[in-house]
């Protein structure tokens, strides 16, 4: 959405410039017609001058009327710069999301920004572990289908709840630095309990990722110890060896042909 206030003043300036131009044209054409018509009466050229002057006068009058009507309207209120910045940021994010690699780039930017916000707190190591586990699970999400699909939904819910818990821990920790000496102990106990909850939750999330990796490993394991591609390559190798041996035997058993000699005179 464009800035309505800027659009209003742009339109006002455009009408003012147009009214001035048409006023100048009307004055010039009207003065020229007033000077030239009395010399030879009203002829075809004089009618053209008079028509042009009348048109310019009418256009100038309409432009001044439009300008007066627009100037009588109150100007829209100014837009908050923060709102403009948020609007531009949303437009930029929408443009990046339309790119092929846009969603991945935005996710990485959000992840780095969140990790930077947690820097220097007791949550930073746990946040890093949660990020690594989420990245590992994201790389396997496309293959976790069938019976493993509900685990992805539970993992997404757990990821959101753990990140919200981390935000609460950071808020309590920052308030802990500002608290006076007397009520510091109860707030510190609450902080330790929240950190313990976050630690256990991150550990459980990591165990879920390990279980998902085990599921994929078992699901993709072939029935035999030999991989299908390796078996096919071995068969192709044996076939080539057999063909080359057969060609060598045929070459050894074939009779030699005598060279053709031309008769001499």
Last residue of some domain: 52, 72, 92?
Answer: 72
Last residue of some domain: 219, 238, 260?
Answer: 219
Q: Do 56 and 131 belong to one domain?
A: no
> What's the maximum distance between 2 C-alpha atoms anywhere in the chain?
131
Residue 70 to residue 129: CA distance in whole angstroms: 61
Residue 198 pLDDT > 80 = yes
Residues 102-126 pLDDT 10s = 676 767 777 787 778 788 888 888 8
At residue 137's C-alpha, the angle toward residues 136 and 139, to 5°, is: 70
Closest CA to 32 of 44, 54, 51, 49: 49
| Residue 78 belongs to a domain | no
Residue 189 pLDDT > 60 = yes
Q: Do 119 and 171 belong to one domain?
A: yes
| Residue 105 belongs to a domain | yes
Q: Do 54 and 109 belong to one domain?
A: no
Residue 6 to residue 77: CA distance in whole angstroms: 10
Contacting residues for 4 by C-beta, under 8 A, at least 6 apart = 76, 79
Question: Residue 265: its pLDDT value, please?
Answer: 46
The Cα-based distances of 70 to 8, 10, 62, 75 in angstroms read 9, 11, 12, 9
**Number of Cβ atoms within 10 Å of the Cβ of 29:** 19
Q: Do 41 and 113 belong to one domain?
A: no
User: What domain range is 164 assigned to?
Assistant: 100-219
| Residue 265 belongs to a domain | no
Mean pLDDT of 231-246: 78
Q: State the virtual CA torsion across 58, 59, 62, 64 in degrees, nearest 10.
A: -110
| Residue 25 belongs to a domain | yes
Please answer whether residues 79 and 3 qualify as being in contact, where contact means their C-beta atoms are separated by less than 8 angstroms: yes
**Average pLDDT of the chain to the nearest whole number:** 78
| Residue 253 belongs to a domain | no
Residues 58-114 pLDDT 10s = 888 898 998 888 888 888 777 667 776 777 778 877 887 787 776 767 677 777 877
Q: Do 122 and 67 belong to one domain?
A: no
Q: Do 155 and 59 belong to one domain?
A: no
Q: Do 109 and 50 belong to one domain?
A: no
Closest CA to 116 of 131, 103, 102: 131
Residue 48 to residue 58: CA distance in whole angstroms: 15
| Residue 257 belongs to a domain | no
* pLDDT interval class at 41 (50, 70, 90): low
| Residue 77 belongs to a domain | no
Q: Do 37 and 104 belong to one domain?
A: no
Last residue of some domain: 204, 219, 234?
Answer: 219
Closest CA to 113 of 127, 99, 132, 134: 127
Find the range with the poorest average confidence among 14-18, 146-150, 154-158, 256-260: 256-260
Q: Do 136 and 208 belong to one domain?
A: yes
Neighbouring C-alpha atoms within 13 Å toward the C-beta of 19: 16
How many domains does one find in the chain? 2
* pLDDT interval class at 262 (50, 70, 90): very low
| Residue 239 belongs to a domain | no
Please answer whether residues 37 and 49 qualify as being in contact, where contact means their C-beta atoms are separated by less than 8 angstroms: yes
User: What's CA 92's distance to the chain center, in Å?
Assistant: 7
Q: Do 166 and 115 belong to one domain?
A: yes
Q: Do 114 and 187 belong to one domain?
A: yes
Q: Do 50 and 104 belong to one domain?
A: no
């Amino acid at each position: 959405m464009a800035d309505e206030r800027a659009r209003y003043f742009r339109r006002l300036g455009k009408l003012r410039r147009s009214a001035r131009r048409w006023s100048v044209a009307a004055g010039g054409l009207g003065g020229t017609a007033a000077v030239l018509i009395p010399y030879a009466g009203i002829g075809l050229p004089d009618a053209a001058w008079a028509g042009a002057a009348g048109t310019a006068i009418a256009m100038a009058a309409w432009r001044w009327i439009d300008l007066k009507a627009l100037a009588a309207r109150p100007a829209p209120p100014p837009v908050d710069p923060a709102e403009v910045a948020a609007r531009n940021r949303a437009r930029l994010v929408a443009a990046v999301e339309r790119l092929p690699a846009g969603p991945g780039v935005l996710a990485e930017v959000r992840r780095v920004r969140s990790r930077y916000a947690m820097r220097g707190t007791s949550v930073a190591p746990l946040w890093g572990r949660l990020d690594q586990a989420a990245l590992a699970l994201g790389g396997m999400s496309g293959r976790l289908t069938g019976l493993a699909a509900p685990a992805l939904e539970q993992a997404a819910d757990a990821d959101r709840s753990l990140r919200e818990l981390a935000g609460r821990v950071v808020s309590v920790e920052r308030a802990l630095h500002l608290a006076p000496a007397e009520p510091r102990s109860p707030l510190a106990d609450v902080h330790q309990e929240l950190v313990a909850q976050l630690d256990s939750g991150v550990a459980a999330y990591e165990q879920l990722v390990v279980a998902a990796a085990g599921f994929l490993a078992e699901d993709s394991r072939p029935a035999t110890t030999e991989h299908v591609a390796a078996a096919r390559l071995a068969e192709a190798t044996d076939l080539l060896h057999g063909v080359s041996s057969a060609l060598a035997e045929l070459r050894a058993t074939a009779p030699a042909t005598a060279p053709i000699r031309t008769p001499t005179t």
